[in-house]
Structure 1
Amino acid sequence: MIIYIACDHRGFNLKQFLSQVIKSQGYDLRDLGAERYDHEDDYPDFASRVAENVLQTPGSRGVVICGSGGGVSIAANKYKGIRAFIGLNPDQAKATKLDEDTNVLALASDFISNELAAQITEAWLKAEFSGEERHKRRLQEISDIESKV
């Protein structure tokens, strides 16, 4: 599975750490930046790169990182077909994949440790969408909402 990852300056150190974790699990990791720490960079640029690539690559997933997780989540969710969430813990991350078929994980580098971020990411990447009818119906309702905007 292809995993796209990107961050702004506040998520740079966590991205470097998580990149090694994701690679060690055998995933095809594509780093979309930041390439270096730059306190002037802006998270929407990096969230957009991930969202666009996830949409263009069926079956892929994305990981976006900023200080609060909120900015990258909001930016990624502006793309029709992206279902981004802020990862809080491994069980919640797994549940979002099982129920909502999330395709982008947002992480808050200022509020979680590297170890917790790795646990959240691992749980989410291992999880698969349940395919239950009620969840399919709800995802269709979300798609219908996206079509209105």
Structure 2
Amino acid sequence: MRVHLGSDHAGLDLKNHLVGWLTDHGYEPVDHGPFVYDALDDYPVFCLRAAEGVKKDRDAGLDSLGVVIGGSGNGEQIAANKVEGIRCALAWSEDTARLARQHNDAQVVSVGGRMHSLADMTRFVELFLAEPFSGDERHARRIAQLSTYDVDATLPPLPESAQGLGPDA
């Protein structure tokens, strides 16, 4: 499996560590940078490229996922989610890493390089990469609603229990 990586200066050490870890574990890392420490770098430059790499691979039928890394992982997640068709989840625990794949079929995971130990973050990535999408109907339905919105901004219909309530009433 190919794994696209992007970060900012705060995620550089973890990204560099993951390149070696991924290779050692049979993955094919694709490093989109940064390649040197620059405290003023901009995470969108690298994280958008990583997410685009995942999208291009998957569109070509290749098995590909991505990892974006920053200080908190928040901005990097936002950047990756700007790539049409990409779902990026912020992982802060083993459970959130697994559920990102299992329930959300996320293709990219974001982790905060200043939030956890190197061992914990590596474990989050390991679990994310190993976990398959469950394929459960409820999860597929929710993902389809998001995909439809991505394409044409169509809101999912309100459930019957919400009819006549709230701002849509």
Report the Cα offset of residue 148 of structure 1: 3.2
1:121 aligns with 2:125: yes
1:10 aligns with 2:14: no
Structure having the higher Rg: 2
Which one of 64, 71, 74 corresponds to residue 70 of structure 1?
74
TM-score normalised by L of structure 2: 0.85
Asked if the contact 1:18/1:117 (under 8 Å) is kept, the reply is: no
Specify every segment of 5 or more residues in structure 1 that has no aligned partner in the other structure, as ranges.
none
Asked if the contact 1:18/1:114 (under 8 Å) is kept, the reply is: no
1:95 aligns with 2:102: no
Equivalent residue number for residue 52 of structure 2: 52
Asked if the contact 1:66/1:72 (under 8 Å) is kept, the reply is: yes
Instruction: Tell me which stretches of 4 or more aligned residues in structure 1 moved more than 6 Å.
Output: none
CA distance in 1, matches of 2:24, 2:95: 21
Report the Cα offset of residue 22 of structure 1: 1.5
Report the Cα offset of residue 68 of structure 1: 1.1
CA distance in 1, matches of 2:130, 2:113: 21
Equivalent AA in structure 2 for residue 11 of structure 1 = G
Report the Cα offset of residue 106 of structure 1: 0.6
SS of equivalent to 2:47: helix
Identify which range, 13-22 or 78-87, moves more after superposition. 13-22
1:109 aligns with 2:118: no
Equivalent AA in structure 2 for residue 142 of structure 1 = L
Equivalent residue number for residue 30 of structure 2: 30
**Structure with more contact order per residue of length (Cα contacts < 8 Å, sep ≥ 6):** 1
What is the percentage of aligned positions where both structures have the same residue?
A: 37
CA distance in 1, matches of 2:14, 2:128: 17
TM-score normalised by L of structure 1: 0.96
Which one of 139, 144, 148 corresponds to residue 148 of structure 2?
144
Aligned length: 149
Equivalent AA in structure 2 for residue 111 of structure 1 = M
